[in-house]
Every structure is written in structure tokens, then in C-alpha cells.
Amino acid sequence: MKKSPSSRRGRASREADALIEYAEGLAQSGSRAEDHFWESRLEREIESLLKDGDEGSLNAALDRLADRESRAYEELADAIEGRVEHMIAAASDGERDVLLFAAPVLAWSRMPLPTRPIPPAVLKSARQALLETVFTPKADLCLANYLFSPDQLPETFCDTADLRQALTQGLTDGTFKVDPASLKETAQFLADQRYIIGVVSAPRGEAIFRWQSGDANREQVTQRWMETSQNALAPLLPACAFESMLPRAYYVACRDADRSARPFSIRASVAFLATTLGISQNHLVATIGGCYHRQLEEYRIGFTVGEEEETIHGVVWPLLGAEDEMSDVAEEIETTLRESGIQRVVMLRQRLPMEYCDDCGAPLYPNEDGEMVHAELPDVAEQPSQHLH
């Protein structure tokens, strides 16, 4: 018999109450033994909710803890992400740890950035590069045969857990075939992230990443992957400038990519404008303004040339995590602009609205007078987008 909406809400409330109780117990724990007690109960509850597809209870608990500004929020968020990313699977050689991971790529191009199936030869090269540079010799991999945009990544904890499960089932063949028709359309930006997604399997309790095993430190692994992946991934990103980021567990890799995409978009923007307009970077002027809803949500950077008034381009720099008005974000933006060759940087002090174009939906960017205006490139080039993200 189907349950009524009110009975479902009651169940969701009870499940959320249990999550909150366990997360607060863990946050207030005073010993490793007590940590283990609360962690075990929290993990079992989360695992049960993921199997039931009960996204509502997970989010309800997170929302309630966020309102309390409790350290239990971080404990619960970490526990949910950990259960989504990781599982223990039985194999012929014993139990194995299985971890969902992402290998982010930052790219920019005058052409639309691709999201596409990965050809078998390229997937083979990427797999080999990952095994040689990132993962330990005992690791097995299954890679999704698709280059994902941020819009195409799973939106919920349950969807992400389902993807991890599907990839795990493909470990025997090493490939999980993605149906492109099942994925969302991708918003086109001149600079954006792309992702290779997979699972890695290793004997339970043993090293998964090379920096765990002592073969190399994290910086050395990063450098080797960046070098090796340039050749392995180049066929996927024709006519693109790109940087490969360190493959890591799924959620932290995505957060790394979000954070690194912000300065990358500025560097890409400056390079794009200089080459498209045939000018030196020091002829560009950048205006930085903070945009507010109820609080500071993001900075927007408008670009002009010399003494001209028209704003020709823009970049959005969203706030992430605990960043707010008291953070040194504006100074970081200015430093990135100057390191990119911009000599004149205007910092606006007034609160600007988060306005968008009524016709095309593009963000509006600040000019030196503090007005929010549409960014329009001169007629020297026809571009798919007038802004970087």
C-alpha cells in the first residue's frame, strides 16, 4: 500500500533525527573509541538511506544542522560523501576498497568546449596514464567512456552513489558505457571544467594512490600526471588549451576544480582577449565588483581596453565554502589579474546587484562607473559566448 505524503514526511523526519543524533554525538566525542561508535551508526544509517534512494532525509538533516551552525554539519557532510564515494567489494582475491574518483581538466578555447564520448583508444591511453602515474600497481580501474561537463555530473547523493555502483560493476571490463542521451545539455563557456570519472579498486586497507605508498609525494604525482595526460587527453580537446588537475576522490576533486577554475578563467580571459584583439595584456583594464543578493555571493570582473568605455568581456568569480566579505578574495582576484599581465585594476567598493541580461540571460559586468552592463566583443571575432565562467 502506498504511503501518504504526511506519513512519508514523518519517516523523513525520523531518519533525519537519527542522522543528526549520530553526527552531533561524533562532533562532541572525546575519544577515538567513541568516534568509532558514532561513525559506525552514522555510516549504517547513511548506507540504508542511499539504498532506499532517500535523498530527502539526507538533505533535511544537513539543512537542519546548517541552521544550527554546528560542527556536526561537517561531520555529517563528510560521512555522507564518504559513503557515496567508497564501498568494500568482494573479489576472488579477497575484499577490495572501491573509490569513486574524478580527474578534472580545466580548458579554454575559441571553439565550444567538447563534451563527448571518449573513443576506446583515448580511454585506453588515459587508463594507462592513470595507472602509471597516479594509482598503485595493485589498482584496477573502470572509467566512464564520456568527457563530462559540470552540468552533466550527478546532482544528488543517491545519483552519485548509483554511478559509483555502475562503475564498480564495470571493473571486470574496465569501461562503463554512458548513454549520451541520458545527460543534460551543456552551457557553453570559453573556459570551463571537464571531467573523466571512474572507480579505482585496491586490496582492502592497502594504498590506492602512489603518494600513499611512498613511491612519490603528491607534488611529484601531480607533475607526472600533468605531463603524461597532455598527450593522452589531447585528442579529446582539439583546439583547446588545457591543464590537467590531480585525480582524487570524487567530491574533493570537484571542489579542487571549482576553486582552480576561478583563476584559470581569468588567465584564459586575458589570453583570449589579447590574442583576439591583437593587443598586449597591459592595454586591458579590469574592474572588480562584489555582487550581492542578501549577502556577498560573487565577484564579477569587467574588461575594457585602454580609455574606451565599452565593457568587452567578463568573468564571474563565485564565493566557495566559508568565503565571505571578510575573506581576502578581492585581493586574490587582483593578484591573479596582475600576474596575468593586467596593470590597471579598478576595485569598486559599492554593493552591486546580481543582474543578468533580460534577452540572453548572460551576467552583467561592472564598468568603472559601477554600472552593470552587457559585455560585447568588438566585431573582430564571432564567439559562441561573451563571458567566461
Instruction: Tell me the C-alpha distance between 224 and 213, whole Å.
Output: 16
- Report the candidate in 58, 42, 60 with the shortest Cα–Cα distance to residue 50: 58
**Element housing 192 (H / E):** strand 191-203
Confirm if 123 and 143 have CB atoms less than 8 A apart. yes
Domain ranges of the chain: 5-85, 92-250, 279-373
- Report the candidate in 107, 103, 102 with the shortest Cα–Cα distance to residue 389: 107
Q: What is the CA radius of gyration of the chain?
A: 23
pLDDT of residue 12: 56
Other beta carbons less than 10 A from residue 143's beta carbon: 23
pLDDT in tens, the chain (389 residues): 333 333 333 445 789 999 999 999 999 999 999 999 999 999 999 999 999 999 999 999 999 999 887 899 999 999 999 999 999 998 888 899 999 999 999 999 989 999 999 999 999 999 999 999 999 999 999 999 999 999 999 999 999 999 999 999 999 999 999 999 999 998 888 899 999 999 999 999 999 999 999 889 999 999 999 999 999 999 999 999 999 999 999 999 999 999 999 999 999 999 999 999 999 999 999 999 999 998 999 999 999 999 999 999 999 999 998 899 899 999 999 999 999 999 999 999 999 999 999 888 889 999 999 999 999 988 754 444 444 44
pLDDT of residue 238: 94
- Report the candidate in 156, 200, 189 with the shortest Cα–Cα distance to residue 316: 189
**Dihedral, CA of residue 117, residue 123, residue 129 and residue 130, to nearest 10:** 70
DSSP 271-287: HHHHHHHT--GGGEEEE
Judge residue 210's burial from the number of C-beta atoms within 10 Å of its C-beta, 0-12 exposed, 13-18 middle, 19 or more buried: buried
Which residues lie across from 365 on neighbouring strands? 373
pLDDT of residue 102: 98
Instruction: Tell me the C-alpha distance between 262 and 200, whole Å.
Output: 28
Confirm if 188 and 110 have CB atoms less than 8 A apart. no
